[in-house]
């Protein structure tokens, strides 16, 4: 937590200003600085308005430039809320970095994961399996809901394919990290510093007739009471085997809060072991040793911190924030899961030494995890056919797409299927002309077969496609009339994309590494430990 200390700010003396020449020099410097800062600020759209000072720390952290905070929601009973400390223009990104989601391909019915996760079609996970649902870290899971007209932001579930630099033919880490990275939100109105960032959930039970007011806090209050969630940026890890990693977006001082990590609790890891390999989700969870429970941290970037026992520069502790229900850690595990809302416990990532801007962050996952990884890396060999596997992002999206007929002679890689983005939802089956959608919901993206390709009057390719609204059933033969056959005509090339067929992505690699991150022993509540013996 950050504290403003204006009195001690004065301790930084400017005694040399007593001399006139020095005064002139200082004035020129100030003007140059103001111009440079102004230019820099313009490039970032809006200026951080907050000034902070933590002079007691030898290595002064740059908290003043924090752009996003987690703090008590200004919505009554809203719990924690997301805040911006900068002005954001309508249409601009309204978060500091993209979110990451982890899909479970066949979510068991009736489990806590099914009820507390994102639907398959929100972030383009339709094609992974029969009942895909996602756990997401970052802003997506932290938003509170406000009605249309009041809510500030909108999710932008972009179809970003990424294997995080890990190819199944060459990397032991392939299949051990999620490909669903790149989820953003954008401002749907001009947002001013101090505003709580909200989205409209769509199904939130708003009170009829109630006039909702946009929730906000004073920016200075945020600096005093908020937890900065902007200290991490996500990039390719320095060691390519690790996939992405978390990096310091500003300098961080020893002992400083790097990021809060609210936790989602799931009572049984077994629920994720019905398929082989076990669901990738477990790799992103803490597990108190000996228990079967999973704790999923969803604070922005926390989940992206890789392991190193040699280069460790952050550690975990239970949060001191009032929203961390520490009393919930004093009940037996069984009773913990009977609590009204088994959420509300928060870990914190804290710097164990001064960290320079741009340094990769490393947590020590412990020797058990390290040995498991070393063994995996030593024994790993690529699965059969790995060198023929093509990731969707490797396809050239400017090339004309071959029709089903043409594919008989020149097939595409067998793991890939086409998707078509269609606005034609309000229909019975039959033939419809494609039109430019006025929405960007990912539900519009469905599996399709390319039946015909023709030039339009402008000389551009247009396609006739057969759409499959049962996304994961990509096997149907378009020539055999089905009960419901949906045809779109005049589909432009830009509406056609590629996805991996169900059950073929790296998520399902038989040789993928799976291991939870053991919760450090000293953080496991004694009563939970008692349950272990
Ligand atoms: C919590 S995730 C970390 C973020 C992940 N790197 C990503 O790109 O999404 C944990 C996974 O990252 C990878 N990882 C983390 N530390 C690693 C290390 N020291 N060596 C190899 N892989 C590592 C492993 O696949 C592990 O299961």
Mutation choice for ligand 1 from 97, 176, 301, CB with most ligand atoms inside 8 A: 176
User: Which residues on neighbouring strands pair with residue 217, listed in sequence order?
Assistant: none
Ligand 1 atom with the smallest distance to the CA of 100 is 9
How many CB atoms sit inside 10 A of residue 331's CB?
15
Share of the chain above pLDDT 90, in %: 68
Residue 452 has pLDDT above 90, yes or no: yes
The pLDDT value given to residue 126: 85
**Among candidate residues 121, 106, 104, the one with its CA nearest the CA of residue 445:** 121
Would you say the CB of residue 261 lies under 6 angstroms from ligand 1?
no
- Reported confidence tier of residue 428, pLDDT bands at 50, 70, 90: confident
pLDDT value at position 290? 87
pLDDT tens profile 44-103 = 222 222 222 233 334 445 667 899 999 999 999 899 999 999 999 999 999 999 999 999
Element (H, E) at 405: helix 404-409
pLDDT tens, position by position, 21-55: 343 444 444 333 333 333 333 222 222 222 222 33
The residue whose CA is least distant from atom 8 of ligand 1 is 244
> Is the beta carbon of 516 within 6 A of some atom in ligand 1?
no
By alpha-carbon position, which residue is closest to atom 21 of ligand 1? 242
| Cα gap 64→55, rounded to integer Å | 12
Q: What is the mean pLDDT of the chain?
A: 85
pLDDT at residue 19 in the model:
36
φ, ψ for residue 81, nearest 5 deg: -135, 160
Burial of 483: CB neighbours in 10 Å, binned 0-12, 13-18, 19+: exposed
Name the one residue in this structure whose structure tokens are 């953003």: 184
As a whole number of angstroms, the distance between CA 366 and CA 532 comes to 19
State the Cα–Cα distance between residues 496 and 498, nearest whole angstrom: 7
Domains of the chain, each with CATH number or no CATH: 68-203+210-379+515-526 (2.170.270.10), 389-507 (no CATH)
Secondary structure letter of residue 42 according to DSSP: H
Give the nearest ligand 1 atom to 283 CA.
27
Q: List the Cα angle 161/376/349 in 5-degree steps.
A: 65
Ligand 1 near 304 CB (within 6 A)? yes
């Amino acid at each position: 937590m950050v504290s403003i200390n204006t009195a001690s700010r004065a301790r930084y003396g400017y005694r040399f200003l007593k001399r006139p020449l020095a005064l002139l020099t200082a004035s020129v410097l100030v003007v140059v600085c103001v111009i440079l800062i102004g230019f820099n600020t313009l490039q970032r759209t809006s200026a951080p308005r907050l000034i902070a000072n933590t002079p007691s720390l030898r290595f002064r952290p740059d908290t003043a430039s924090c752009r996003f905070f987690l703090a008590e929601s200004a919505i009554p009973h809203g719990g924690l809320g997301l805040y911006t400390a900068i002005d954001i223009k309508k249409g601009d990104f309204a978060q500091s970095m993209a979110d990451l989601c982890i899909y479970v391909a066949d979510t068991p019915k009736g489990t806590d994961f099914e009820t507390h996760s994102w639907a398959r079609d929100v972030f383009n996970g339709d094609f992974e399996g029969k009942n895909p649902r996602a756990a997401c870290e970052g802003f997506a899971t932290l938003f509170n809901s406000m009605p249309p007209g009041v809510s500030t932001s909108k999710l932008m579930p972009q179809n970003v394919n990424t294997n995080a630099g890990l190819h199944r033919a060459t990397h032991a880490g392939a299949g051990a990290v999620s490909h669903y990275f790149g989820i953003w939100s954008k401002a749907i109105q001009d947002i001013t510093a101090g505003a709580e960032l909200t989205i409209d959930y769509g199904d939130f039970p708003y009170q009829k007739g109630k006039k909702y007011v946009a929730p906000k806090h004073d920016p200075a209050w945020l600096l005093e009471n908020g937890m900065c969630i902007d200290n991490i940026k996500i990039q390719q890890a320095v060691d390519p085997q690790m996939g992405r990693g978390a990096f310091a977006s500003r300098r961080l001082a020893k002992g400083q809060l790097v990021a809060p990590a609210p936790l989602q609790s799931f009572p049984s890891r077994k629920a994720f072991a019905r398929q082989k390999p076990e669901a990738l989700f477990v790799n992103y969870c803490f597990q108190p040793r000996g228990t079967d429970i999973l704790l999923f941290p969803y604070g922005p970037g926390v989940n992206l911190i890789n392991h190193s026992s040699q280069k460790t520069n952050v550690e975990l502790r239970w949060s001191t924030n009032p929203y961390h229900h520490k009393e919930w850690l004093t009940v037996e595990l069984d009773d913990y899961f009977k609590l009204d809302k088994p959420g509300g416990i928060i870990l914190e990532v804290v710097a164990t030494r001064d960290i320079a801007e741009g340094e990769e962050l490393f947590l020590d996952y412990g020797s058990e995890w390290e040995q498991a990884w070393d063994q995996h890396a030593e024994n790993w060999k690529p699965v059969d056919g790995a060198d023929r596997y093509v990731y969707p992002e490797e396809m050239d999206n400017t090339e004309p797409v071959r029709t089903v007929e043409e594919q008989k002679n020149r097939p595409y890689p067998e793991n890939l299927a086409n998707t078509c983005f269609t606005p034609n939802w309000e229909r019975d089956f039959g033939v419809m002309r494609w039109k430019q959608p006025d929405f960007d919901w990912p539900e519009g993206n469905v599996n399709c077969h390319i039946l015909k390709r023709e030039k339009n009057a402008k000389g551009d390719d247009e396609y006739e496609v057969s759409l499959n609204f049962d996304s994961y059933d990509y096997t149907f033969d378009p020539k055999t009339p089905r009960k419901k056959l949906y045809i779109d005509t005049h589909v432009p090339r830009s509406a056609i994309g590629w996805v991996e067929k169900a059950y073929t992505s790296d998520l399902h690699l038989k040789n993928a590494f799976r291991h939870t991150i053991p919760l450090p022993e000293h953080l496991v509540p004694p009563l939970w430990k008692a349950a272990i013996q």
